[in-house]
Structure 1
Amino acid sequence: MHHPDATPRRSIYFDYRVRAPSPAVPTDAPVLIVGGGPIGLTTALLLAQQGVRCRLLMADLQVSEGSRAIVFTRRSMEILQQAGVADAVAAQGLAWRFGNSFYRGQRVFRMEAPFPEDDRFAPMTNLQQQVLEELLIARIAAEPRVELCWGHKLVALHRNDAGGAEIEVDTPAGPYRQPAAWVVAADGARSTLRQLCALKLEGAAYEGRFVIADIRVDLPLPTERLAFFDPDWNRGNTVLMHREPQGIWRIDYQLPPGEDPADALRPEALKARIDAQLAMIGHAGVPWEMDWSSVYSARALTLPDYVHHRVCFVGDAAHLLPIFGVRGANTGFQDAQNMAWKLGLVVRGLAGPALLASYNHERVAAAREIVDEAGKSTRFMTPPTRGFRLLRDAVLSLSLTQAFVRPLYHWRTSRPHDYLDSPLNSGAGPAGDPLPNLKLGEGDHLLDRVADGAVVLMTTAPRADLDDVLQRWQARGLRCSALALPALERLGMADGHAWLLRPDQHVAARWQTVDAATLDTAIATLLGGPAPC
């Protein structure tokens, strides 16, 4: 019998709430989501927007321990806007756009993320993961299509005679068996579903280990990323710092090769190193208090396929990415958004297997691209061989006097993937990129106006022939609409242009002019199938 911990987790700034275990009763929801971190919770909300009921299994009785993922990109904020929590995240989080790299006490590189004045969200927003999880849970409480099950732990997976899946769940009240048409694996880096499906991640695991330490300390520093290379107290290694809300600072420091992680987390070891870091930045002796600490290693791994029979993998269950460049959770949000609308249409019978195959095509390609980019950052932060270390140390030394090498410090921040080669694309121009969230007026941004489902953006007056196409698709059950806009120079939309948006706000087609038959075919292509007869 499953016995989740019912003792509230300790924190000096966050009050952990322990929920009562949910009843051990099966449901007829067509989708089961395993894992209640930010990615699983967001997936549930986005599936509900598609009209799909789902049950989300939470093995614990409280949200995750520690701050964990803390930096959310502009694109993640746009996805969280679609899920209905972005305003709350922005209100509680800390916005920022600059990153600084230091070597021997000198700032040798300053990264500036673009922040056009007409964008709604800052390039980065810092907020602790457990705070975000509570915001998502509060949003789910108002969503009748999502059932959150606390204390329900997946223990086995089977196929059923109907072609779907059946899982065994253990709870404090005893086990039960749960059928489902589809299962979403959002159960993290140690994914039980990945193990039950006997799937292996591909890529590289790096030897370098880092301690994460969250401390409460009063530092008169701006909200900017700080990276310190080869500091005197941690020679040959790297230290990172981030400001978090509520007076918390994250310090990540690399451990010397061979050090036992358990030894590194001893209170006296943590204190000595944190004191040394604070002294190095000019704040020796400043009082501080520990909240949470952990150890992680850098990995750049992905499954080769994110759809396995009736199981769809998202987030860390699908891939493990280095945190350098804030790629972990931010990549997972893009998985969730991409997968949710496609699975929703498949469950509702509006699309076939080809649409979910496009999830695999698009997101595995994105992960492999990120693995390549993250590998470059990781090899600079934690050189895996003597040769890479010699190269990195040469860059460090030259950067003190030679400006041309300093861009090598750039940490290749997580960015939205462009699905340029997606099988869902059509039209006369390039497609696959996400729609910028442009400011249209005071308090009015483009994504505020984009409805759920497929959307046709037009810079012409409403046209009866195009409206007829949309009404025919609506009659089949597809959510689709038209949005009239003025010509927008930044988008490259001139008078007469039209674009087709996917439900995840990526552009599926661009036209200078479009007729009804072309739009009809593009919508069919968007659903992964041939043009309707």
Structure 2
Amino acid sequence: MVDIRYDLAFTLYPYEKVAAQDHPPARHPVVVIGGGPVGMALAVDLGQRGTPVLLLDDHEGVGQGSRAICFSKRTLEICDRLGFGQAVHDKGVIWNVGRVFHGETPVFNFDLQPEDGDKFPAFVNLQQPYFEKFATKAARTAQNQGAPIEIRGRNRVTQIDQHDTYAVLTVETPDGSYQIEADWVIACDGARSPSRKMLGLEFKGRVFEDNFLIADVKMTADFPSERWFWFEPPFEGAGQSALLHKQPDDIWRIDFQLGWDIDRDAELDPANIRRRVDAMLSSQTGTVPAYDLEWISIYTFQCRRMEKFVHNRVIFAGDAAHQVSPFGARGANSGLQDIDNLAWKLELVVKGLAGDALIESYDMERSHGADENILNSSRATDFMTPKSAISKVFRNAVLTLAQKHDFARPLVNSGRLSVPCIYDDLPLNGPDMMTGPARTRVGASCPDAPFGDGFLLENIGGKFTLLVLNTQAPQDLCEAGIEIETLITHTPSAELRTRYLGQHDAAVYLIRPDQHIVARWPTFDETALRAALRTAIAKDRV
């Protein structure tokens, strides 16, 4: 039997017995383990590309509790390409502004999107169950349009046996166990990843000696849709820091820092939680409005990752591959960047257009991303929770200086918020033959900008694209069996000129299916273009 370990917020893929359970193991090109945000988005991406994918989840939908709530602009752009970005945006609470306090004193405010010209805001807050619901709806829509996606709920993988060119999975269901074969297995089964344990693989990194309490509170309040963070909060029982965020449906996320040596059961007692929430609300509003506790949890900061993300035929993504502290919103957002990087590579390998070296590049690029996230999360944690008296003196001095002096504000670290990873100096990059702008250098993800009647990123992604600005290039290019779409404009918007031309009069960009820049030139060069595409698919690597 498949045990039910938690209650569901939404039943999305109820168990149905399939014929394969009574037959010898069938071979699948790709099997995804885990139907969370990362696994479901990967299934949608692969299916829309025409790559057959089977998703297995050990429950029949998404569990209760808000969990991941902060989804970045880059994640919204990825989801938009997959068909559910607008749904996430429309349901979510939009925010761009954050405020930092030290005790009762405002330190400074920051705006994460100070310029116009993007389809999406810097962040939206949305409870994870809604995100998974929208992703699953996109998968069902793709299925109805003929995409080769299959989802099996209450199918728990209990054993993985690897061979040279495939893996065999043993799957437990309410009707007993069966086996399937997979050319590639993508483990998206979370921080406690059973898949990782089955293969005897470990996380390496730091576990910080601190605990944080999440309290999701349902109430009507006049707080703005902003991120408020307190160092040494002025309200009783908050610990060294506290965080306030708004979610949809009149839900407010409050985080309290508890310290390391705690009585977990006592801290989860609703009466004790209410005392903390009451103190915070009365401190900020002068009263305690009526509220309900929707969801509570305690977590520990962890900044860890697997040494490698690719192990023969099993590939790890999302929290199964890496963990970071939630301050900075780098968990789910990093996981979505994982699958954005992986899906197009799997497609080319499954279709025989690229070799396994392209899969290995996933490990290289996303390990780079994980290290960047772990570095930022570790620094934030050290700043938020000084480990010595002198560290606290220096931290508080920075907070005091930041109240009046701009130079000190970049030193304040309440969680460096998630930004797209730039794959600087990595092997899939082609030449950079322009002097700027830096934000669109080789390895960066494409920033959005107004384009025609819409936005640039609505017109690129999913395929290799040649973006041509104020010059000429041929249509219908093809190299190594891969078609290249050409997108030309001679009337770029002001934002497009600023972000892609800088001081140049014209430019040609080769862009990967995940909207990362392969190469750029001031004019079209067919020989260089073909070489850059071969580099981008690791065609000549072994």
Q: What TM-score, normalized by structure 2, do the two folds share?
A: 0.90
SS state of the match for residue 490, structure 1? helix
Give the Cα separation in 1 of the matches to 2:243 and 2:371: 25
Amino acid at match of 2:456: L
Partner of 1:12: none
SS state of the match for residue 234, structure 1? coil
Partner of 1:503: 513
User: Which among 417, 421, 437 is matched to residue 425 of structure 2?
Assistant: 421
Give the Cα separation in 2 of the matches to 1:292 and 1:215: 7
Matches within 5 A, 1:167-186: 167-186=169-188
Matches within 5 A, 1:47-62: 47-62=46-61
Partner of 2:253: 250
For the 8 Å contact 1:156–1:169, the answer to whether it is kept is yes
For the 8 Å contact 2:238–2:256, the answer to whether it is kept is no
Q: Which stretch shows the higher mean deviation, 494-503 or 143-152?
A: 494-503
Amino acid at match of 2:222: P
Partner of 2:538: 528
Structure 1 residue 448 corresponds to structure 2 residue 458: yes
Amino acid at match of 2:486: A
What is the CA-CA distance between 1:286 and the residue it aligns to? 0.9
For the 8 Å contact 1:457–1:484, the answer to whether it is kept is yes
Structure 1 residue 22 corresponds to structure 2 residue 16: yes
Give the Cα separation in 1 of the matches to 2:118 and 2:72: 13
The alignment covers a number of residue pairs equal to 517
Give the Cα separation in 2 of the matches to 1:213 and 1:255: 12
Partner of 2:499: 491
Give the Cα separation in 1 of the matches to 2:390 and 2:159: 45
Give the Cα separation in 2 of the matches to 1:445 and 1:271: 46
For the 8 Å contact 2:239–2:256, the answer to whether it is kept is no
Structure 1 residue 433 corresponds to structure 2 residue 435: no
- Deviation per CA, 1:22-62: give whole Å up to 9, x if none: 32536543111111110111111111233211111111122
Alignment RMSD: 2.1
Relative to structure 1, is the Cα distance of residues 192 and 146 closer, same or farther in structure 2, using a 3 angstrom cutoff?
same
Partner of 2:4: 4
Give the Cα separation in 2 of the matches to 1:140 and 1:214: 29
Matches within 5 A, 1:56-95: 56-95=55-94
Amino acid at match of 2:71: F
Give the Cα separation in 2 of the matches to 1:47 and 1:387: 52
Structure 1 residue 196 corresponds to structure 2 residue 195: no
Give the Cα separation in 1 of the matches to 2:108 and 2:41: 35
Any stretches of 5+ residues in structure 1 without a counterpart?
10-14
Using the aligned pairs only, state the percent identity.
34
Relative to structure 1, is the Cα distance of residues 513 and 23 closer, same or farther in structure 2, using a 3 angstrom cutoff?
same
What is the CA-CA distance between 1:348 and the residue it aligns to? 1.2
For the 8 Å contact 2:188–2:317, the answer to whether it is kept is yes
Give the Cα separation in 2 of the matches to 1:35 and 1:414: 23
SS state of the match for residue 11, structure 2? coil
User: Which among 222, 229, 232 is matched to residue 230 of structure 1?
Assistant: 232
For the 8 Å contact 2:75–2:336, the answer to whether it is kept is yes
Relative to structure 1, is the Cα distance of residues 512 and 18 closer, same or farther in structure 2, using a 3 angstrom cutoff?
closer
Amino acid at match of 1:333: L
For the 8 Å contact 1:8–1:17, the answer to whether it is kept is no
Partner of 2:105: 106
What is the CA-CA distance between 1:313 and the residue it aligns to? 1.0
User: Which among 155, 160, 174 is matched to residue 158 of structure 2?
Assistant: 155
SS state of the match for residue 498, structure 2? coil
SS state of the match for residue 535, structure 2? helix
Q: Which stretch shows the higher mean deviation, 125-134 or 273-282?
A: 273-282
SS state of the match for residue 276, structure 1? helix
Partner of 2:395: 392
Q: Which stretch shows the higher mean deviation, 93-102 or 409-418?
A: 409-418
Q: Which stretch shows the higher mean deviation, 287-296 or 350-359?
A: 350-359
For the 8 Å contact 1:34–1:184, the answer to whether it is kept is yes
Q: What TM-score, normalized by structure 1, do the two folds share?
A: 0.92
User: Which among 470, 481, 484 is matched to residue 485 of structure 2?
Assistant: 481
Matches within 5 A, 1:237-386: 237-386=240-389
SS state of the match for residue 39, structure 1? helix
Partner of 1:132: 131
Give the Cα separation in 2 of the matches to 1:296 and 1:91: 29
Partner of 2:437: none
What is the CA-CA distance between 1:69 and the residue it aligns to? 0.7
Partner of 1:214: 216
- Deviation per CA, 1:289-310: give whole Å up to 9, x if none: 0111111111111122111111
SS state of the match for residue 452, structure 1? coil
Amino acid at match of 2:327: F
Amino acid at match of 2:134: L
